[in-house]
Structure 1
């Protein structure tokens, strides 16, 4: 039974990875549009373009779009992973004991960091411009 499930999942690895990339990118993009355009909900405070939040928002919007369509997936995912590592250590870890992410609000940053690092390592899967270009 377990082997049958495993082999069926292995058949769809590319599709599962592609859908995971698309969903993560769409959610990540929303963090950027919130910072840059107060959409879909207003940010707590407006961000100046050259502030830390403005730079993060710019990377989240551009990186989110590129990851969503799967263009330059590996380097963009690596950049976004690094952004989330910085976000965690600069904004969330100082708010409490750094291992308790639920207490310092950093759980999304940690998940994005490692999910994007994984995507940088394995690529964007199916449904990507990179895959269509043979990359």
Structure 2
């Protein structure tokens, strides 16, 4: 049963990238655009604003799978920075400092740096388009 499931691993990699990026993107739209409602928009040129810009740009790039490894690297570093600056000083335990999402984002994006975007991506489409020219 699990051997057949393994055949879907590349598509699930793309699904992981897309879903994670959509949620990450939502953090950026909330900080920069005030949407969805619930959080307040960040003031321009603050740490929160810069993280919103990164979340928006990298989130969009990762949703479509364009320059995925670079976007994932920047997003991973941003989440590591966010954890150590905003969450870790509050409490040692991530469940108590509300940093568990930042840790998960950091490591999912770090995984994507090495695993790539999967087959459902602009990057994969560009590779396929270039492949016949190289031959």
Q: State whether TM-score is above 0.5.
A: yes
How far does the alpha carbon of each residue in 1:89-121 deviate from its partner, in whole angstroms, 9 at most, with x for none?
A: 000001111xx1110000000000000000011
Q: Which residue of 2 aligns with 1:105?
A: 98
Residue 30 of structure 2 contacts residue 41 of structure 2 at CA under 8 Å; is this kept in 1?
no
Count of residue pairs brought into register by the alignment: 128
SS of the equivalent of 1:64 reads: helix
Pick aligned residue for 1:14 from 10, 16, 21: 10
* Alignment partner of 1:36 is 2:29: no
**Any idea what SS the aligned residue of 2:89 has?**
helix
Please state if 1:82 is matched with 2:67. no
Name the TM-score, length of structure 1 as normaliser. 0.91
- The runs of 5 or more residues in structure 1 that have no matched partner are none
Cα RMSD of the aligned pairs, angstroms, is 1.1
Alignment partner of 2:44: what SS? Answer: coil
